[in-house]
Homo-oligomer: A and B are copies of this chain.
């Protein structure tokens, strides 16, 4: 299940980036499950990684290799997360980097490895190694290569996820392309599993890192399917420097806006394709004392199984939203000042149901596939937006009936 129509944009060429993929049979045969992204020399790369204490082996290795500053290849496999695999998992990740480096004429340290899939199984290194030549032979910069790469990183996702934006800088067109995957175990903390974004802009390393960190804080870090943070989350931003330079304040602002559009679209695509999702919910919390407070309230509501099952049932059970807001970690909470709207229907004010509310109006909103819940706390000027999905029978089936 998924919300809305499937959509994959036309992806323009990003000069300096080529993508290849292969069917390595990592978990099952016939599935595109191995992706190589080649980055031209002189590009800069920034990354954010999961804060889960049980970081997977490839996350450790990718962080170490990234720190060397000369990344030339991203190597991504689906079907196996190489997480919870201890020392042998670290060796397996290094072996894959070494194998790709040898074939491509680069050092092992120039390869950043990423894995997604089942936790705790040994990585099938030989199958990956055997398919690397096929993936390298297919390296291409076309939109079709982006689409195949987006397919090749999926796990329980039902849709390939891509986004693209451009901005004009000093008469040049700067392009940003991104792909992502994710459907369950989605409550990213500093990143999501997985996002790969590339631009042809020329951006210094420190700025690139801060643009990614701030962008991720407003996109991937604001989504949740089921409150579970993956061991393998990572988001990478590549700047090949083939187009305009991003350095002055005005230009940075324009570039940041375009980057944020791509990141938010990719993050929202994960929610629309959330495991068992039938609804796409935007939670806007305002009038909080701090952004953290707004986020705390938004995530408390977004994680409430009772709110999520009511959304699944299209039941305007505003009492459950109110109860969830009321248990959020907010000090000196004066509930009399809380106002809750469902789209344009006032649900709650003055500590209880709004006088103007009718069950009919509430039900009309709840019948929609995309709903905004607006919560104003009446105690400050900070705000935050979080996107989430509902909790359906299919979520339970997907996670109870299959080992994912």
CB distance from A42 to the nearest CB of B (A): 36
CB distance from A193 to the nearest CB of B (A): 11
Cβ of B325 and Cβ of A54 under 8 Å apart? Answer: yes
Q: How far is the CA of A53 from the CA of B309 in the complex (A)?
A: 22
User: Which residues of B have CB within 8 Å of A319?
Assistant: 81, 83-84, 118-120, 231
A357 nearest CB neighbor, chain B only: B120
Chain A 225-266 interface residues, beta-carbon cutoff 8 Å to B: 226-231
At the interface, yes or no: A290 with Cβ under 8 Å from chain B? Answer: no
* CB-contact partner of A323 in B228, B391, B403, under 8 A: B228
Copies of this chain in the oligomer: 2
Cβ of A326 and Cβ of B231 under 8 Å apart? Answer: yes
Chain A 282-309 interface residues, beta-carbon cutoff 8 Å to B: 303-306, 309
A residues neighboring B (CB under 8 Å): 51-55, 81, 83-86, 89, 118-120, 184-185, 187, 189, 226-231, 303-306, 309-310, 312-313, 315, 317-320, 322-328, 330, 333, 335, 348, 350-353, 391-393, 395-397, 399-401, 403
* CB-contact partner of A403 in B84, B317, B399, under 8 A: B317
Q: Knowing A120-B318, A396-B393 touch, does A53 contact B326 (C-beta < 8 A)?
A: yes
Q: How far is the CA of A318 from the CA of B326 in the complex (A)?
A: 33
Q: A89, A303, A352 — which one has the most chain B CB atoms within 10 A of its CB?
A: A352
* CB-contact partner of A351 in B86, B310, B326, under 8 A: B86
